[in-house]
């Protein structure tokens, strides 16, 4: 099941740190929090800011140690990424009208062949977090902690790898771009309608 028509709960997780563009996951959670009161939703919604993907396991275990995550919960994971254009089969949104960065990409977990949002090669390629998002999802799935539907939104920052000497060391996160990303993510959810 890639897209529940009406999950019983939607949980948003924004990953980030206080460093430059990596803050964007947290900022998008704040923007979603501001947008949700003006929306019509019939189901419970929760929002969390996490430092690393492995914190997702701590949340899933702590929420109810006797019962794994409800299969009808939808997890929305939001994280910054760099130069995702090197990935295969990326489902990309329309370019941000405010600037070219950030760009939004989406994948579904677990990978499904019939989804336009399939991450074709979910092999971890490393992460600035130590234990990355893919490894965390694989472990959570093995432990029976993931719901049937997990949507991953990668917010792209086009920086060279490795960064050039001329690249800014602390990228500011533009408020208009954050609001745009939050609205685009919410627009993917059939059970939430923004007014």
Q: Which of 41-50, 149-158, 170-179 has the lowest mean pLDDT?
A: 170-179
pLDDT band at 19 (very low <50, low <70, confident <90, very high): confident
- Give percent of the chain above pLDDT 70: 58
Query: What one-character-per-residue DSSP string does 119-177 give?
Result: -S-------TTSS-HHHHHHHHHHTT-S-SEEEEEEEEE---SSPPTTS-SS----HHH
Residue-level pLDDT at 31: 94
* Full set of structural domains in the chain with CATH: 9-194 (3.40.50.1450)
Q: Which of 24-28, 74-78, 116-120, 188-192 has the lowest mean pLDDT?
A: 116-120
Farthest-apart Cα atoms in the chain, separation: 52
Produce one character per residue of 122-135: b if its CB has 16 or more CB atoms within 10 Å, e if not: eeeeebebeebbbb
Residue scoring higher pLDDT (129 or 102): 102
Residue-level pLDDT at 50: 94
Residue scoring higher pLDDT (44 or 164): 44
Q: Which among 22, 8, 20, 7 has a CA at the least distance from the CA of 168?
A: 20
pLDDT band at 175 (very low <50, low <70, confident <90, very high): confident
pLDDT in tens, 44-57: 888 999 998 889 98
Residue scoring higher pLDDT (148 or 184): 184
57 pairs with which residues across the strands?
none
Report the 3 state secondary structure along 95-118.
CCCCCCCCEEEEEEECCCCCCCCE
Residue-level pLDDT at 192: 76
pLDDT in tens, 108-131: 887 776 666 666 555 555 555 567
Q: Which among 182, 185, 190 has a CA at the least distance from the CA of 33?
A: 182
Torsion of CA 193, 98, 154, 22, to 10 degrees: -120
Q: Is 90 helix (H, G, I), strand (E, B) or coil?
A: coil
pTM reported for the whole predicted model: 0.78
Instruction: In whole angstroms, give the CA distance from residue 11 to residue 47.
Output: 6
Residue-level pLDDT at 170: 45
Q: Is 48 helix (H, G, I), strand (E, B) or coil?
A: strand
Residue that has been written with the tokens 């419970």 in this structure: 44
Q: How far is the CA of 172 from the CAs of 18, 24, 136, 175, 180, in angstroms?
A: 11, 9, 28, 9, 15
């Amino acid at each position: 099941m890639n897209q529940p028509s009406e999950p019983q709960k939607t949980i948003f997780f924004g990953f980030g740190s206080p460093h430059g563009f990596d803050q964007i996951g947290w900022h998008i959670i704040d923007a979603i929090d501001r947008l949700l009161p003006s929306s019509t939703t019939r189901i419970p919604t929760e929002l969390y800011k996490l430092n690393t993907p492995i914190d997702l396991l701590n949340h899933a275990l702590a929420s109810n140690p006797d019962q794994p995550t409800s299969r009808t919960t939808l997890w929305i994971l939001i994280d910054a990424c760099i130069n995702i254009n090197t990935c295969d089969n990326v489902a990309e949104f329309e370019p941000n009208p405010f600037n070219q960065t950030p760009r939004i990409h989406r994948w579904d977990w677990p990978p499904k062949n019939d989804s336009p949002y399939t991450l074709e090669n979910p092999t971890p390629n490393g992460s600035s977090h130590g234990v990355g998002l893919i490894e965390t999802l694989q472990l959570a799935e093995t432990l029976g902690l993931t719901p049937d539907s997990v949507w991953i939104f990668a917010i792209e920052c086009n920086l060279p790898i490795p960064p050039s000497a001329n690249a800014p060391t602390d990228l500011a996160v533009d408020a208009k771009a954050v609001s745009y990303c939050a609205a685009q993510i919410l627009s993917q959810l059939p059970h939430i309608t923004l007014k």
